[in-house]
A = this chain, B = another copy of it.
Amino acid sequence: MSVTIYDVAREANVSMATVSRVVNGNQNVKPATRKKVLECIERLGYRPNAVARGLASKKTTTVGVIVPDISKSYYAELSRGIADIATMYEYNIILSNSDKRPIREVELLEDHLGKQVDGIIFMSDSLTDEIKKEMGTANVPIVLAGTLDANTNLPTVNIDHEQAAYEAVKKLIDNGHKRIAHVAGPMSRDINKFCKKVGYERALQEAGIPLREEYFIETDNTYDDAYDKWKKLASLDEMPTSIFAGNDEIAVGIMNGIRDDGYSIPDDFEVICFQHTLLSRVVRPQLTTIVVPLYDLGAVSMRLLTKLMNGEEVDDTNVVLPYRMEERQSTK
């Protein structure tokens, strides 16, 4: 079949061990032998079998990435950050979509572990007890990226969503608004429920503005749903004068609703949101946003994972990355 290390050894009149040393860049090889071996490798078209290597060395230089849906640009961007750092440290990535389904998440974890990945980066809306239990059986490090970790002590990488939401709403308050709606993503996502919403409420309370149930709208995170939900807000006796949206896709849905009703932004309504995609910059008016460093979340997660896989001591395994606000045209 295909050429093995043994074929190369025979061809070069050395042992497999020597070929192995050459392939792995071990210095204990006489330059002349190295040259000879390299020539045979080239001539025979030898390509080391990583599976055999993995079995023998118990390391696959592969990490698992479990993501809700790679077709969402949020995760696509994050994954690119993961991939670049993985490449830098010579790891491959096995990428799987969970669609946030707990059963599937457990299956995938099991599956990746069976494939002997050296580590895993996990993303989800919320961690079930089952998945936590499954993670407990893993013998390789796991890092949660952009995923809240309630009462486990798994390594995580995040931004301070609560504070970011607070600042976003604070900006609206500072601009004089008292009627501020929050059009959120699904509450099944912990970050929405325990961070963004909480930050929104904290800002209002701090300003002495009472919370109004009718100003809180939950969406399924899609443009279309957000567009529809605008009607709810529009039908209120007392409409809000500004909107804090969970992300830019939601914000654009709301914006188009506002616009189609003949109102204008930022004159009639001010809008602010978390920025996940290009959308924020290309719609008109451009959206004022909290810029989420998605690429960095991925990159830092992977970097953290490499340390963990190396058995390095990590002082703080709960990394919090900075974010920034970008003021554009949807606020004054």
Contact = CB atoms under 8 A, between A and B. Distances in A.
Interface in A46-63: 47-52, 54-55, 60, 62
Given A62-B94, A80-B69, A114 B282 contact: no
Contacts of A279: 278-279, 282
Interface stretch (A71-79, A191-199, A209-217, A308-316): A71-79
Q: Work out how many copies of this chain go into the complex.
A: 2
Nearest to A84: B97
Contacts of A116: 49-51
A213 to B, nearest CB: 28
A119 to B, nearest CB: 15
Given A45-B137, A62-B94, A93-B95, A281 B70 contact: no
A234 interface: no
A319 B274 CA distance: 41
Interface string A32-52: 000000000000010111111
Nearest to A90: B111
A80 B70 contact: yes
Nearest to A222: B278
Given A47-B114, A50-B115, A93-B95, A79 B83 contact: no
Interface residues of A, number: 54
A79 B73 contact: no
A95 to B, nearest CB: 4
A252 B115 contact: no
Q: Which of A71, A75, A249, A252 has the most CB of B within 10 A?
A: A71
A232 B95 CA distance: 42
26 contacts: A2-B139, A47-B113, A47-B114, A50-B116, A51-B55, A51-B115, A62-B94, A62-B115, A70-B80, A70-B83, A71-B77, A71-B79, A71-B80, A72-B76, A73-B73, A76-B76, A83-B95, A83-B97, A84-B97, A87-B97, A92-B111, A92-B115, A94-B94, A252-B282, A253-B282, A279-B282
Interface of A: 1-2, 45, 47-52, 54-55, 60, 62, 69-73, 75-77, 79-80, 83-84, 87, 92-97, 110-116, 137, 139, 223, 249, 252-253, 256, 259, 278-279, 281-284, 295
